[in-house]
Amino acid sequence: MRLHLCAVGRLRAGPERALVDDYLRRFGRAGRPLGLGPVHEHEVEDRAGGGPAAEAALLRRILPVGAATVALDERGQTLTSPGFAARIARFRDDGTADLGFLIGGADGLDPALREGADVVLSFGPMVWPHLLVRAMLAEQLYRATQILAGTPYHRV
């Protein structure tokens, strides 16, 4: 199952970029034997300033046709790391070819995009900068591979 990290905003060189790259590289190595990956990063920018609705249109354009979607939003459900891993495995086992993770801009995701997602996921009730959300998601994706593979990386 191919994964697509679809985000509003550009992640430039720096510590966040290095962190995301490190975890996605780890995911790539660990996910292959599990039928997961690769992860494709897609970045969009609404230069016209159309807000969440315009950003949603850009995000929809980069999603592969038929992709299942996970919207990252503070109003979503919280999952444990094993629960997140199980949800990814369920998408894979159900035959999902493409799974897109949607990260909005400064004003969040457009309500219609959020409501149309297969899963709305929260990293907690706090609002996180989209750059950190991307790093947190990359780490959790890698952690999911380790949980599914039964390694000691994730300790309960």
Are 72 and 103 a contacting pair, CB within 8 Å?
yes
Could you give the CA distance from residue 90 to residue 20 in angstroms, rounded to a whole number? 24
Residue 156 pLDDT class (50, 70, 90 cuts) = low
Report the C-alpha gap between 112 and 76 in whole angstroms.
14
Domains of the chain (ranges plus CATH)?
A: 2-149 (3.40.1280.10)
**Strand runs (DSSP E) across 19-116, as ranges?**
39-44, 68-77, 98-103
- Counting every residue written for the chain, the total comes to 156
Q: Over range 103-129, report the average pLDDT.
A: 92
What average pLDDT does the chain have? 94
- Tell me the three state secondary structure of residue 80: coil
Chain position carrying tokens 């807000």 = 51
1 pLDDT exceeds 70?
A: yes
Tokens coding 152: 């000691």
With a CB cutoff of 8 Å and minimum separation 6, the contacts of 86 are none
Chain segment 21-34, per-residue pLDDT in tens: 999 999 999 999 99
> pLDDT of 117-144, one tens digit each?
999 999 998 888 888 899 999 999 999 9
Give the pLDDT band (50/70/90) at residue 78.
very high
Taking the C-alpha atoms of residue 118 and residue 135, their distance in angstroms, rounded to an integer, is: 22
Q: The whole model's pTM is what?
A: 0.93
Dihedral angle sign, alpha carbons of residues 144, 42, 72, 65: negative
